[in-house]
Chain A
Amino acid sequence: MLALEVQNLKKVYPNFTLGGISFSVDEGQIAGLIGRNGAGKSTTLRSIMRLISSEGTVKVFGKDFARDEETVKAAIGYVGGGFRSYPNKSLSAVANAVAAFYPHWDGEIFKRCCEEYSLVLSKKVRELSEGMKIKFSLALALSHGAKLLLLDEPTSGLDPLSREDFCDTILSLKGRGVSVLFSTHITSDLMRVADQIIYLSDGTILADEPLETLMKRYRLKLFASLSDANAAHTIGVKRVKDGFEGLVTSSEGREATLDEIMIHLEWSRRQNESAY
């Protein structure tokens, strides 16, 4: 079953357009929404949550978001890049207010999460580090039994150890059958946890496939000249120190990293755009 199904999601700003993107996330899968700053990752997640008005349809576990807004939101845990609301309120005050919205809120799970994440409920939100804010958001989401987590750049601003903790937490959620869509531009986090990659560039999807397939599809090859690279139908040819480099779909060349795949696909998109 699909945990999330997005069809023709479109949002037009004066200087940016999210161009009618479609993708889906299977139940129990961890999908990474990746792209450079300004690629449209936050716009996508905020459009899914209807925080911004946009065109297109969103279905969560088969239910239409616009039609069953309350039911669908009850199944989602949304973390908009750390917990930035109510800085002067205590964690317990926020949790009490949030609990009232969820009929299936489990105080025991919340308590357990707080213990696991070392969250002190008497602390105020502003007293938490960025990493702890993420953990507080996750504790809230898990306590109402969210089946789908939408996380907007949860690892931005976290130190490597906190990012590692976050990845461990996400992997443990997968074990509990929770589906996750999280945006990031830190590819090492994706390599660690993601099953699926959705690569967004300038409001369009350049790649949407399982991580393993994506990594196997492309290899990186170095050419002595541009004409050699073009003759080999290389994708996203770029000048490098020793010649020209690009992605090839043959078995030649070396294994490409996710960063390199991203860079060359982006470069290819720009070349195609400038050609038109």
Chain B
Amino acid sequence: MKALIKKEFSLCLHPTAFIFLAFAALVFVPNYPYEVIFFFSGLSVFFLSLAARENGDLAFTCSLPVKKRDVALARVIVAVMFQCTLLLLTALCIVLKQRFFPQTVLINLAGNSANLAFCGFGALVLGAFNLVFFPLHFSEPNKVGVPFVISSSVQFALIALLILIRHIPFAAPIASPDPENLGVKLAVLFTGLILYCIMTVLAAWVSMKKFEKVDL
């Protein structure tokens, strides 16, 4: 698995994947739909899969001494590495923002505020992307665009739903700056992280099963 991941980085990864990580800094922009940050993470997975397809990567990799299903798993693991890095960078930017920015800009009027609960929302959006994109892509690896459009549509629908929550009166505590209403926000954060894990594990499992049967 280590060799597979190394190969993903050295032969398949598109440099934009690293640039998209920098988009975590968007949380510093006042009144912005911060959830969009996690859409860009999907773009890096899209470019990774596209580069792999254009490089004839899957057929070549499957001829190396690896289990066919592990090839799909390695791609998911690389995506998870970038997603976790993005979540951590976003959390770091949020901490910096809350510490150094004036209280007046901490409330986001365009969507959910950048706080602990927002990281939970981010994990949920990333998990939803994984659950849709990878099984669709690995059931027909020559298709990258269609799975991306479908998974991005699901992401945007979810983002719209999460922004709507912001306007529901009883959900007001999750829009407050940290450390206010910490219990509720931690509950949202951990729920998001748990759902991310469940959705990603499910995505990897289905992708591996489907990829076994694919003709390359």
Q: Which residues of A does B touch, CB under 8 Å?
A: 46, 49-53, 69-71, 73-74, 76, 78, 80, 84-89, 93-94, 96-98, 100-102
Contact = CB atoms under 8 A, between A and B. Distances in A.
Interface residues of B, number: 24
A64 to B, nearest CB: 14
A73 B60 CA distance: 12
A207 to B, nearest CB: 27
B56 A84 contact: yes
A70 B68 CA distance: 9
Q: Dominant SS at the B interface?
A: helix
Contacts of B59: 51, 80, 85
Nearest to A84: B56
Given A51-B216, A86-B57, A97 B11 contact: yes
Given A51-B59, A74-B65, A80-B63, A94 B214 contact: no
Given A51-B63, A86-B56, 14 more contacts: A46-B215, A49-B63, A50-B62, A51-B59, A53-B212, A53-B213, A53-B215, A70-B65, A86-B11, A88-B55, A97-B6, A97-B10, A100-B3, A102-B65
Contact of A100 (B7, B62, B215): B7
A1 to B, nearest CB: 20
A101 B71 CA distance: 12
B148 to A, nearest CB: 22
Given A78-B63, A87-B55, A93 B11 contact: yes
A86 B12 CA distance: 8
A73 B11 contact: no
Contact of A53 (B11, B57, B214): B214
Contacts, number: 71
A73 B216 contact: no
7 contacts: A70-B67, A73-B63, A73-B66, A93-B11, A96-B10, A100-B2, A101-B7
A88 B15 CA distance: 14
A93 B68 CA distance: 22
B161 interface: no
A198 B60 CA distance: 25
Contacts of B214: 53
